[in-house]
Every structure is written in C-alpha cells, then in structure tokens.
C-alpha cells in the first residue's frame, strides 16, 4: 500500500510542469494528480477554474489514455499526462477515475510542498471505464512498449498545449 511519503518522493523527483497520478491507500483510494510548478506560477492562477480533456490513442498494440488540465486566465497553463493501464497501479487508477466525481489537483511549488489544491469535476468517468474495458481485451504490454508508444504521441504532440489541442473537446483519438 502506498503512503503519503511515496507521493512526497515522487514530487521531489518532478520538474516544474510535470504531472503524475497517484493513489494512496487501499483498493478504493481515489486518484489525485500531483503537479510540480514554480510557486510564482501557482500564485498567478488566482481563482481560475480547471478545464479537463481526455482521449485515447492507439499506437500498434498499445492503447494510451491521455488526460489534460488547463488553468489560468490571460496565459493559460496546460498540464498533461499519458496513462498506462498495464502499469503496476494502472487498473486501480483507471477504476478510481471511472468512479470519481472530482479530480483533485495538488500543486507543489518551489520547496516541494503543496501550495495549492484545485478540484475539477470529472467529466470522463464513463470514458475511463470504457477505456479500461477496451484495454482488457488486448494482450498486456510491457513498460518499454508503453514508453515507445508514448514517445510516438509526444513526437506528434511535443508540448502539453499540443496534446490539449489534439484532444479537442474530449473526442477519443485513434
């Protein structure tokens, strides 16, 4: 079972702009998003809302889920990640995202401590359930296969803003 110190260790290894999904606790634990950012940027967000997009990409035999968050007013910041169902906690993360009503975003600043929390409505629980069901029909892949597929997606969408644009208004990508 993962604890808070596992999340702290993960945040310590992150660079500004990085985002990771994390579950602490038992099988029914919710997924939270750990985001590392410069403290000045976190303060800039003010009372902004959070927009969320998700989609699915298929690269060879690997199916990846993408999730992106956009915050900010004058200069929106986008944070995005690709999710691997076949990773150690992948099924648990997809199950959590498939049942959660809200998506907590924990922003960690310059000192590595949590500076701010945003809560976004989860518009995609059905998407995560359907994606998990689809992936379960495929042969499992290895971490290296996922990293290769993720590199293909990142070559097409090199920055978080590019992935945000590719996801459009929540349409699944093939």
Phi, psi of 101 (to 5 degrees): -85, -30
Phi, psi of 147 (to 5 degrees): -60, -40
The string of pLDDT tens digits covering residues 87-131 is 999 999 999 999 999 999 999 999 999 999 999 999 999 999 999
pTM, entire model: 0.90
Residue 75's pLDDT band (cuts 50, 70, 90): confident
pLDDT score at 57? 96
Task: Count CB neighbours of 114 within 10 A.
Answer: 16
pLDDT score at 8? 81
pLDDT score at 24? 77
Residue 173 confidence (pLDDT) above 60: no
* Residues composing the chain: 174
Percent of the chain at pLDDT > 70 equals 94
Give the H/E segment covering residue 16. Answer: none
Residue 4 confidence (pLDDT) above 60: no
In the predicted model, what is the mean pLDDT of residues 59-64? 95
Token output for 4: 């808070």
Mean pLDDT of the chain: 91
Please state, in angstroms and rounded to a whole number, the distance separating the CA atoms of residues 87 and 12: 21
């Amino acid at each position: 079972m993962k604890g808070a110190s596992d999340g702290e260790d993960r945040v310590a290894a992150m660079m500004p702009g990085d985002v990771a999904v994390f579950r602490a606790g038992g099988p029914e634990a919710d997924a939270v998003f750990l985001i590392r950012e410069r403290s000045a940027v976190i303060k800039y967000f003010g009372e902004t809302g959070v927009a969320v997009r998700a989609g699915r990409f298929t690269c060879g035999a690997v199916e990846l889920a993408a999730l992106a968050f956009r915050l900010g007013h004058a200069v929106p910041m986008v944070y995005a990640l690709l999710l691997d169902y076949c990773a150690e906690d992948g099924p648990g993360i997809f199950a959590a995202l498939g049942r959660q009503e809200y998506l907590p975003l924990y922003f960690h600043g310059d000192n590595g401590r949590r500076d701010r929390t945003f809560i976004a409505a989860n518009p995609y629980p059905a998407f995560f359930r359907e994606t998990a069901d689809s992936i379960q029909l495929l042969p499992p892949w290895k971490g290296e296969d996922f990293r290769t597929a993720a590199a293909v997606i990142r070559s097409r969408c090199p920055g978080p803003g590019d992935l945000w644009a590719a996801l459009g208004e929540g349409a699944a990508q093939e």
